[in-house]
Amino acid sequence: MTNVGIRDVAQLAGVSVTTVSHVLNNTPKMRVAEETKERVRHAAKTLGYGPNRIARGLRTKKSGLIGLLSEEIATTPHAGRIILGAQNAARMHGFNLLIINTDRSLNDLYQDDIQVLIDNRVEGILYATMFHREVTLPPNLHGRTTILIDARESSGIVPSVVPNETQGATTAVNFLIDAGHRRIGFLNNSDDVPATHERLIGYKNALSNHDIEFEKELILQSASEANPAYEIAKKLLARANRPTAIFCYNDRMAMGAYRAAAELGIKIPEELSIIGFDNQELIADNLFPGLTTIALPHYEMGIWAVEKFLQKSDEVKAGEQQKNYPVRLDCPLVVRKSVAPPKNNRKD
């Protein structure tokens, strides 16, 4: 059943294998009679012929495969969106993805995982981390076309794409300000990762752009889960002069803030606006009211990475310059129902 080869097609169509190869690959210069082409194509279809990509790969030295090394594929839908974006872009150019999940706790395994990809002669390697952070490139990646997704590398010479955390945070806070809020709390993550620092910068930028004084007391930090966030949210909201809106580091923390508000009898969004980050639909859609939040561009980063890979392949020939990485992709606002203008009597 799998055994139908180019020769069978050639025989059925009454031509040589060369002709078959030419018409099926649409070889540019070679011209074949339209009628012959038709015969060949028909023969191929009736036999259910598909070219053996292995044999082709051996000959052309092109596997048609892009390796994707992904961390923690099983824990969040984030990896799935990266994969989806990468795959869609890849298929548009005749590539497929060879995906390997890698366990970042076992640092040694990176090497093995990469070797598997190399043995399969992938034409490039996309390396996707689970969350935005800095990595050092495993040595056997050196000299190969490598693209980093959601990760940065210190030298800035390896193409890499990360979310524009600062812009995302600014967008979130701007949305709150535009709704009329002036006193905006920020429940930030306490981990030392890029997102923590950059989202804080984005928050400050939004305030200063609108001539709103930055108040240190409005920023509280905790682990980035619902329960720790609940604790600090409760403290923040119990104050006499509580903020009218809260920007949360992520949707899980927002979930904690929802609970704190509910316990204190504070209505969302009438008495308190909340905005999250990550657009984890499982949470944002199922909270009530629906959580307005900022989406991470995972799908887009997947696309970007394979396009960069394609472009890189060309650069080898052209000898173009290297740019400064990482590239930052915007984080768009996703509006649901958790933001409203502040109540007048509440304003200060």
The pattern of x and - marking residues 116 through 135 that bind a second copy according to CB under 8 A reads: x-xxxx--------------
Query: What does 31 bind: DNA, a second copy, none (CB cut-off 5 to 8 Å by kind)?
Result: DNA
Complex with DNA: residue 94 or 319, whichever CB lies closer: 94
d(CA 25, CA 21): 6
The pairing of beta strand 184-189 with beta strand 146-153: unpaired
The pattern of x and - marking residues 84 through 113 that bind a second copy according to CB under 8 A reads: x--x---x----xxxxxx------------
Query: Is residue 115 within the footprint of a second copy (CB under 8 A)?
Result: yes
Complex with a second copy: residue 82 or 207, whichever CB lies closer: 82
Kindly give, in sequence order, each residue whose CB lies less than 8 Å from that of residue 287, ignoring residues fewer than 6 positions away: 254, 255, 258, 338
Complex with a second copy: residue 140 or 174, whichever CB lies closer: 140
CB of 240 to a second copy, least distance (A): 25
Complex with DNA: residue 60 or 190, whichever CB lies closer: 60
Query: Is residue 282 within the footprint of a second copy (CB under 8 A)?
Result: yes
CB of 305 to a second copy, least distance (A): 15
Complex with DNA: residue 94 or 265, whichever CB lies closer: 94
CB of 77 to a second copy, least distance (A): 6
Note the residues at the interface with DNA (CB under 7 A): 3, 5-7, 14-19, 21-22, 24-25, 27, 30-33, 36, 51-52, 55-56, 58-61
77: preceding bond cis by omega (within 30 degrees): no
Query: Is residue 287 within the footprint of a second copy (CB under 8 A)?
Result: yes
**Residues making contact with a second copy (CB under 8 A):** 1-2, 48, 50-55, 57-58, 63-64, 73-77, 79-81, 83-84, 87, 91, 96-101, 115-116, 118-121, 140, 143-144, 225-227, 230, 252, 255-256, 259, 262, 280-283, 285-288, 299
